[in-house]
Structure 1
Amino acid sequence: MKYPMILLLSILLNISCAQTQTPTSRPITSVSADELNNVVLLDVRTPEEYAEGHLDNSLNINWFDTDFAQQVEGIDKDETIYVYCKVGGRSAKAQQKLQSLGYKNVVNLEGGYDAYKQKK
């Protein structure tokens, strides 16, 4: 009886000490310009789409590039990364990939660049 109680207390202690995670997604229209200046802003659209317009200070790494994982290696894994695309599909996939590579704070900006343009 003693050992199960110790195990239970140990599990409860681990759960209560877990870090609060950054939200995993947010509408792009709810993000302030100041906030965008304080994160790594990753645009995962094609270079052609990026050239047609993008958020200021964003880094463009094409989700469709076969070496996407190698290209993101230059980003510190502890940085907060806001990732966006045209409408949200590619950025959601890129977010999952980044998390699988060990990036801790990756937020998908839902609605993508199209929603951001409409907001302006």
Structure 2
Amino acid sequence: MKFVPVIIAFLSLNFGYAQIKSKPITEFSQKDIKDGILIDVRTPKEFGMGHLENALNINWFDKEFSKRFDTIPKKRRLYVYCKKGGRSAKAQKLLDSLGYWNVVNLEGGYDHWKANKKF
């Protein structure tokens, strides 16, 4: 009986973790992608000018954007970001509609991360 509160707490934390939909990009770390995939939805040109370490570039403006996710399991946690946050928010909504239920939008985008990174 004394384990019931522990089990309830564990389930609450686990459910809450799966429901995270956004996170400030400045709070993101490489540890976050241990079990996920980091996706930069900017253009290849923007990506080439700098990106977060270990990011996969899938261009939001690519006509085949949705198809680029065909090989990515829907269970995987996806972290998406763009330049300022608009494209990644749209990408998150689209991916949610495609069945990717664990998509986290990194708010503020690359520009915010770059302006606040510690050298």
Find the aligned partners of 1:79 and 1:36 in 2 and give their Cα distance. Answer: 10
Is residue 76 from structure 1 mapped to residue 73 from structure 2 by the alignment?
yes
For structure 2, the residue ranges without an aligned partner over 5 or more in a row are 1-14
Conservation of the 8 A alpha-carbon contact between 2:85 and 2:109: yes
Deviations 1:32-88 (A, max 9, x none): 232244420010000000000001111101001111011111211000000000000
Aligned residue identity for 1:48: K
Structure with higher Rg: it is 1
Find the aligned partners of 1:27 and 1:85 in 2 and give their Cα distance. Answer: 12
Find the aligned partners of 1:50 and 1:32 in 2 and give their Cα distance. Answer: 18
Alignment partner of 2:80: what SS?
A: strand
State TM-score, norm by structure 2. 0.80
Find the aligned partners of 2:107 and 2:71 in 1 and give their Cα distance. Answer: 24
Pairwise CA distance, 1:110: 0.3
Find the aligned partners of 1:33 and 1:80 in 2 and give their Cα distance. Answer: 13
Find the aligned partners of 2:93 and 2:43 in 1 and give their Cα distance. Answer: 18
1:116 alignment partner in structure 2: 113
Conservation of the 8 A alpha-carbon contact between 2:40 and 2:80: yes
Conservation of the 8 A alpha-carbon contact between 1:37 and 1:57: no
For structure 1, the residue ranges without an aligned partner over 5 or more in a row are 1-18
**Equivalent residue for 1:34, pick from 31, 36, 41:** 31
Aligned residues: CA RMSD: 1.2
**Number of positions where the alignment pairs a residue of Structure 1 with one of Structure 2:** 102
2:42 alignment partner in structure 1: 45
Residue correspondence of structure 1 range 1-120 to structure 2 within 5 A:
19-20=15-16, 21-120=18-117
Aligned residue identity for 2:26: T
Alignment partner of 1:70: what SS?
A: helix
